[in-house]
Structure 1
Amino acid sequence: MPQTEHGANRRRGRDETEEERADRMWTDLIQEVRVAQTGVQILFGFLLTVVFTPKYAELSDTDQTIYIVTVVLGACATGALIGPVSLHRLVSGRRIKAQAVRWASRLTLLGLLLLLATTSAALLLILRVATHDGFVPYLVAGVVAWFLLCWFGLPLWTRHRHTVK
């Protein structure tokens, strides 16, 4: 057991029941989802309006395809990130919160991946329309790499580095 500065042993982790842990993890998850939901809903809302602008008709077939793929990805991300709320509502009171937390966590991770794809596709479309330079795919790849580092690389490194074995 790890020792405090005075040499006394102390326990790591929390002393909680499975139900208490599930409650805590659910609260944490919902706070995280609120942030992602807001972002994806704003992005998706803006994406839905693009098709009704005069500029849309001027887009090349490739750019219109990128737009359609982006909207579909945005819809999927929205569904995945709102899914935990529906999941909770439908299983509430059934005494399966631990399982619900696991599934909600998976939906949230999927939603984050779809949000990454949506954001990347939207960035690609915007930069293709704003500039026709060949550096656009490299710029988008750099942003994707940055998102991957911030959203997955650093958290996974931190988990690996600081998990008690």
Structure 2
Amino acid sequence: MSDDPRDGKYSRDQEDERERLDRHWNELLQELRLAQTGTQILFAFLLSIAFTDRFQDADVFTHDVYAATLIASALAMGLFLAPVSFHRIVFQRRLRDRMIPIAHHLATAGLVFLLIAICGGVLLAIDVVLSRTIALVTVAVIVTWFISFWYLLPVYVRRTGEAEE
């Protein structure tokens, strides 16, 4: 096994527990920065469309999808921000070993709600310009696409990586 960290196969024995926790925390923070920004933009957009005349005249289905999408977006944003609050409360208490797994689960749950919010936003937009059937089929394809690239591909890579070890 190579000792060069750039090749992605350096020995885990080279870093101590504190360095490993710091690395995991920093990686998680970078991921959360990206997810938070997109979620906040989506949330702001959703808040603004509720007050348009065209939306007021929309049918019950559109209002229901909108409500579910707005709630999913708010929940995603809350879950992505939760590790920040968690960190502020446990800061300098030497609890990083407990904080990181919890923050991981919060971020993972946030991704599920973000997936729902993105698909709801797409459904709202496509339903305006195409038929509802086409909008629903399009969203089903998008859900499949997200699940494939967000979950199935990483699980496949993880399993093949474990098999190589």
RMSD, matched Cα? 1.9
The one-character-per-residue Cα deviations of 1:22-74 (angstroms, maximum 9, x if unpaired) are: 11100000001111111101001100001111111111011111111111111
- 3-state DSSP class of the match of 1:59? coil
- CA shift, 1:17, in A, is 2.0
Q: Label 1:13 to 1:51 Cα distance change in 2 as closer, same or farther (>3 A).
A: same
1:3–1:25 CA distance, 2 compared to 1 (3 A): closer
How many residues get paired?
159
1:7 aligned residue: none
Q: TM-score w.r.t. structure 1 length?
A: 0.89
Q: How far apart, CA to CA, are the structure 2 residues paired with 1:21 and 1:44?
A: 34
**What CA distance in whole angstroms lies between the structure 2 residues aligned with 1:128 and 1:24?**
43
1:70 equivalenced with 2:69 (yes/no) = yes
In structure 2, what is the equivalent of residue 145 of structure 1? Answer: 144
Q: Tell me, what secondary structure is at the counterpart of 1:45?
A: helix
TM-score (norm 2): 0.89
Which has the larger helix fraction?
2
1:51 aligns with 2:55: no
Report percent identity of matched pairs: 35
Which amino acid letter does the alignment assign opposite residue 103 of structure 1? I
Report the AA paired with residue 21 of structure 1: R
The aligned runs of 1:1-165 (5 Å cut-off) are 2=1, 12-163=11-162, 164-165=164-165
For structure 2, the 5+ residue unaligned runs are 4-8
Structure 1 unpaired stretches of 5+: 5-9
User: What per-residue deviation string (whole Å, max 9, x for no partner) do you get for residues 102-161 of structure 1?
Assistant: 111110000011000111111111111222252221111111111111111111111111
Q: Distance in 1 between matches of 2:132 and 2:151?
A: 30
